[in-house]
Structure 1
C-alpha cells in the first residue's frame, strides 16, 4: 500500500492539455497521449518541508502522479516524455480497470508488474530527499534477486540489473541453439559458452 504522510497529500487533477503545452511531443506521441491516457492526478508532493526533514539535498521535490489509462498496453514513451521534461522527480501510479502498476524513469523507464489496485507498496526511507528518492527508485526498479553490496550506488545497481537481463537473454538463446545444433563440436561450444554465462549470472545474483 502507498501510504505517504497526510502532509504530502495533494489530490489535484490536471487536464491532459496542460501537459501538451509544456511537453515537446511528436505528433504521433501526442496522438497516443490522447488515445492512451484518460486523466492525470497529482497525488502527493514530497518535500523537505512536508516530510519535516532536517537536512537539505539536491532533490527538492518528488511528485506521485496517478495516470488513469484507457488501455493497458499503453505506449511507455508517454511516461518517459513526462518524466524527462519535468523539473521534479516523478513517481507514476498507472491505473487501468482495477489494476495498477508503478513506474519510474531513471535513465530509462522501469515498471513493476501489474497488481490489483491498492496492492502496490512504497515505503519512505531516508533522512534526506536524495536518499528517499534513490530508495523509492530501488523499490520500483530493482528486482528482489538483484544483489546489493553495501555502499554500492543506485547507478551501479541498475547497471548490474541490466547486465543480468542481458545474460539471461543470451543464456536462453544459447540453450535453444544448443538443442537445435546437430554437430557435436558446435553443440559443445554453445554449451560451454552457456555454462560460463550461467557462472557469471550466479556471481551477480548470489555472490
Structure 2
C-alpha cells in the first residue's frame, strides 16, 4: 500500500454534511448494509468538489466532476459495502478519506474504486486504499492534469495494481483491474494446490499453469 494523501484545493472546498440515512434509505441497499452504516459511520461530509467551476479543469461525460467524501468512523473502519452504497447513490466519481482514532491517535486513509458512469447504475471496481496514516501527515499537491478525467486517473494510479496506459479509457483500466483480480484468485488457488499435491506429474502441470497465470497477470499490469 502507498502512503499518500492529497492536498485538496481550497477553491474546491464544499464542507457539507450529508445525513447517512440519505444513502441507506434507498430501496436497493440491503438491511445488512444499512446496519453497517448505523454501526460503523459516525459522520459523512461532502468535503470537496473538483469541477471546472472550482479548479478550472474541463470535465467529460465519464468524469464530469470528482467528489471527495470524508467519513468519520465509530469502530475504527468502514466496510467496502458502505463505500459502494455511497458510490452508487452519487453520479460522480468519489475519492473517500476515512478517519479513525486508535489509542488516542487520529488516523486517516484514502480509498477509491474505478467508477464508470453510464445510463444505468454506475459500474464500480473493487476498492483500493492507502495505508492508515497519521491525520496530520504532510499532504502532496494534486497531480498535474489537463482535464478532470486525466486528474481522476492520476489520483487513482498510485492506489491500484494496474497503471493507466497512454490514451487508455477509464473503462479499459477497470476491465484490466477485474482481469488482474480474477488472475490473482486463480494464482492463489494454484499455489495452494501445489503445496498439497503429492504426485510429481501433477505438480509439474500445476507449476506450468501457475507460471502461465503469473505471466498473464504481468501483461495486464
TM-score range, shorter chain: 0.7 to 0.9
Q: Residues 168-199 of structure 1, C-alpha deviation per residue, up to 9 Å, x if partnerless?
A: 33233323322322222212211222222233
2:197 counterpart of 1:194: no
CA distance in 2, matches of 1:28, 1:189: 42
Indicate the SS of the match to 1:50.
helix
Q: Residues 83-106 of structure 1, C-alpha deviation per residue, up to 9 Å, x if partnerless?
A: 111133322111111222222242
Residues 147, 60 of structure 1: CA spacing in aligned structure 2 closer, same or farther, 3 A cutoff?
closer
CA distance in 2, matches of 1:27, 1:147: 36
RMSD across aligned positions (CA):
2.7
Q: Residues 14-49 of structure 1, C-alpha deviation per residue, up to 9 Å, x if partnerless?
A: 333444556753333222211110011121111101
2:108 counterpart of 1:100: yes
Task: Say if 1:100 and 1:115, in contact at 8 Å, map to a contact too.
Answer: yes
**Which position in structure 1 is the counterpart of 2:121?**
none
With CA pairs under 8 Å and 6+ residues apart, which has the higher RCO, 1 or 2?
Answer: 2
**Which position in structure 2 is the counterpart of 1:43?**
47
1:73 Cα shift? Answer: 4.7
Task: Say if 1:138 and 1:154, in contact at 8 Å, map to a contact too.
Answer: no
Residue 153 (structure 2) aligned to one of 122, 130, 134: 134
Task: Say if 1:23 and 1:85, in contact at 8 Å, map to a contact too.
Answer: no
Task: Say if 1:124 and 1:132, in contact at 8 Å, map to a contact too.
Answer: yes
Q: Structure 2: where are the runs of 5+ without partners?
A: 116-123
Indicate the SS of the match to 1:108.
strand
Number of residue-to-residue matches in the alignment:
201
Residue 57 (structure 1) aligned to one of 43, 60, 80: 60
Q: Residues 50-88 of structure 1, C-alpha deviation per residue, up to 9 Å, x if partnerless?
A: 1123x4533433221100011235332111111111133
Deviates more, 1:81-90 or 1:35-44: 81-90
CA distance in 1, matches of 2:217, 2:20: 43
CA distance in 1, matches of 2:191, 2:31: 42
Indicate the SS of the match to 2:7.
coil
Match runs of 1:102-117 below 5 Å: 102-105=110-113, 106=115, 107-116=124-133, 117=135
Between Structure 1 and Structure 2, which shows a larger proportion of helix residues? 1
Task: Say if 2:125 and 2:174, in contact at 8 Å, map to a contact too.
Answer: no
